[in-house]
Amino acid sequence: PGAFLVAPSLLSADILNMEKSITLLQGTHDWLHLDIMDGHFVPNLSYGPGLAKALRSSYPSTVIDAHLMVVPPEDFIDAFAAAKPDYLTVHVEATPHLHRVLSRIRDLGCRPGVALNPATPVEWIYPVLPMVDLVLVMSVNPGFGGQSFISETLQKTVDLYRHRVAHNLSFLIQMDGGIGRETIREVVSSGCDVVVMGSSIFGTPDPAETIRELRACVKG
């Protein structure tokens, strides 16, 4: 553990000034994280494939990861894959046909990711780990930005890190929810490769300086 990528969550960006919010990052970010919520899998609504497509055309070389909090993901993956995000992540709890969905995502030209809610045992996704490029460990209950970090979820990241080494796999480990100055250090030292942060970045006046400071929290 040590090197990590920063993926700002656009859920906390200024919705009427999305482009300005991204410009304020001044390229200090690594990825852009897009939260798609359907009002069924999670108790909130966000955006559809239109925003994913607009982001791709404005930022052709930025790594975009779309986190689908929708049920059933089968009904939406074709539309989102058409927007060409780099990673397309679905929840293990959202479908009885996870293997089929992940295969389909790869066939559609995206890198498949699988996400786990805080109460879901990490063992549930062991059978599909050889076929994914990303595992998203949720560290809050999905649906809203600005919630408190659930520290019990860190053990899942530790387990995934060990499992990856033991089985010679190469998926990235991502954590999402409640991460900021107080928690980023333990998140990275538990084995997380990609840190998603919404309110702790966009809730500050200078998001670029905030990202630099957050990176320093891990080193210092």
- Tell me if 184 contacts ligand DX5 by CB under 6 A: no
- For ligand DX5, the binding residue among 176, 187, 192, 193 (CB under 6 A) is 176
Residues from 179 through 218 that contact Zn ion (CB under 5 A): none
Residue 149 · residue 183 · CB < 8 Å: yes
Is 176 one of the catalytic residues? yes
- Tell me if 11 contacts ligand DX5 by CB under 6 A: yes
Q: What track of x and - describes contact with Zn ion for positions 65 through 84 (by CB under 5 A)?
A: --x-----------------
Cβ 65 to Zn ion shortest distance, Å: 8
Cα radius of gyration rounded to whole Å, the chain: 16
Of 15-23, 70-78, 106-114, 195-203, which segment contacts ligand DX5 by CB under 6 A?
195-203
Backbone angles phi, psi at 213, to 5 degrees: -70, -40
Is 35 one of the catalytic residues? yes
Long-range contacts of 124-128 (CB under 8 A, 24+ apart): 124/92, 125/92, 125/98, 126/163, 127/99, 128/98, 128/99, 128/102
How open is the CA angle 89-147-64, to the nearest 5 degrees? Answer: 30
Of 103 and 215, CB closest to ligand DX5: 215
- Tell me if 147 contacts ligand DX5 by CB under 6 A: yes
